[in-house]
């Protein structure tokens, strides 16, 4: 099933709410002021409430309550507000639709959040300048799976069954059942449809095969590739295949400069950070 056939099978691919597209456009525009961004967000009361709930959660750990979007923009910055808004909208978008007995959706989102947390954590270790962007990239990396789950439920049930019965990686099961297509391909298509920045499109397309994105692996893709595998290794949530753990690309080891002796420390930090994600997990329910 090639990409065009896949898109044809999945009618009415989900679109981002208009307010989120406006937020993304504003954040990408260097002329945008804090008042401009706060004004657009504040016009959506439901989104405002959810953003403030996340901002005031243990995940950010601010000592004083942040009561307004204007204050949140000043404290967190444009990028973080965009990422939180996008996270909230994605959770809302995929709450509806068919359930599939082969995958626990809450466990799916827990794995996605765990990947985001670990990607952010690794980003801080290598001094990546946009560590919070690494979180949203990790959170979104598997969106193709949830779209398969809701729009091609019968075929994806076969994928999930094959992965568990034969104890294989879900991506290999997808390739077999879906005639060579996988969640990475679909995720990239969705990211392009949503007009996300190309760096996020690349992550969604290449997080399992980071060397396919070009001669030199970009740092954001490397962070999410590693974050996904480390979250699987610690069995945080479930990626749909019982957390089969693929090998980390050696080029990513070199890129991130992670020594084997550091892994236990990384895992300890990951588990500590996951304790602070209750607000995100509640949004996903």
Please state, in angstroms and as integers, the Cα–Cα distance from residue 223 to each residue in 106, 120, 211, 216, 220, following that order: 23, 8, 13, 14, 5
Asked if residue 56 lies in contact with residue 66, where contact means CB atoms within 8 angstroms, the answer is: yes
Q: Determine the straight-line distance between the first and last CA of the chain, rounded to whole angstroms.
A: 32
pLDDT of residue 7: 62
**Burial of residue 107, with CB atoms counted within 10 A of its CB: 0-12 exposed, 13-18 middle, 19 or more buried:** middle
Q: For tokens 């879906």, name the residue.
A: 178
Distance between CA atoms of residues 139 and 125, nearest Å: 19
**3-284 CATH, one of 1.10.3210.10, 3.40.228.10, 1.10.3860.10, 3.40.50.720:** 1.10.3210.10
pLDDT of residue 101: 67
The domain segmentation of the chain, as residue ranges, is 3-284
pLDDT of residue 285: 75
pLDDT of residue 214: 66
**181-232 pLDDT per residue, tens:** 899 999 998 898 898 989 999 999 999 999 887 656 899 999 999 999 999 9
pLDDT of residue 135: 95
Distance between CA atoms of residues 130 and 127, nearest Å: 9
3 state SS of 178:
coil
Which tops the pLDDT comparison, 212 or 43?
Answer: 43
pLDDT of residue 138: 97
* H helical segments located in the chain: 3-9, 18-28, 34-42, 45-55, 69-76, 78-93, 105-125, 131-140, 143-151, 153-165, 170-177, 183-193, 198-206, 219-233, 250-256, 263-274, 278-284
Task: Kindly report the number of other CB atoms within 10 A of residue 128's CB atom.
Answer: 19
Distance between CA atoms of residues 132 and 124, nearest Å: 9
**238-270 pLDDT per residue, tens:** 988 887 898 999 899 989 998 888 889 999 999
Q: How confident is the model at residue 1 (pLDDT cuts 50, 70, 90)?
A: low
Which of these, 166, 168, 169, 207, lies nearest to 186 by C-alpha position? Answer: 207
């Amino acid at each position: 099933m090639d990409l065009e056939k896949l898109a044809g099978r999945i009618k009415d691919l989900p679109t981002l709410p208009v307010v989120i597209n406006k937020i993304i456009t504003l954040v990408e525009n260097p002329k945008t002021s804090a008042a401009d961004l706060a004004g657009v967000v504040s016009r959506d009361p439901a989104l405002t409430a959810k953003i403030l709930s996340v901002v005031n959660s243990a995940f950010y750990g601010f000592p004083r309550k942040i009561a307004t979007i204007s204050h949140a923009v000043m404290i967190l910055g444009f990028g973080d507000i965009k990422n939180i808004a996008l996270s909230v909208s994605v959770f809302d978008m995929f709450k509806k639709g068919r359930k599939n007995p082969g995958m626990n959706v809450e466990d799916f989102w827990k794995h996605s959040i765990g990947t985001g947390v670990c990607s952010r954590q690794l980003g801080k270790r290598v001094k990546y300048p946009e560590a919070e962007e690494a979180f949203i990239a990790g959170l979104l990396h598997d969106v193709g799976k949830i779209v398969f789950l809701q729009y091609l439920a019968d075929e994806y049930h076969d994928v999930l069954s094959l992965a568990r019965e034969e104890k294989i990686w879900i991506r290999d099961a997808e390739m077999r059942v879906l005639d060579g297509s996988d969640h990475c391909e679909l995720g990239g298509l969705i990211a392009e449809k949503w007009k996300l920045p190309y760096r996020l499109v690349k992550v969604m397309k290449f997080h399992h095969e980071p060397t396919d994105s070009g001669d030199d692996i970009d740092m954001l893709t490397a962070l999410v590739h590693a974050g996904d595998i480390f979250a699987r290794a610690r069995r945080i949530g479930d990626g749909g295949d019982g957390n089969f753990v693929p090998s980390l690309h050696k080029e990513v080891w070199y890129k991130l400069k992670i020594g084997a002796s550091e892994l236990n420390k990384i895992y300890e930090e990951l588990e500590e950070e996951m304790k602070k994600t209750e607000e995100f997990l509640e949004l996903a329910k």
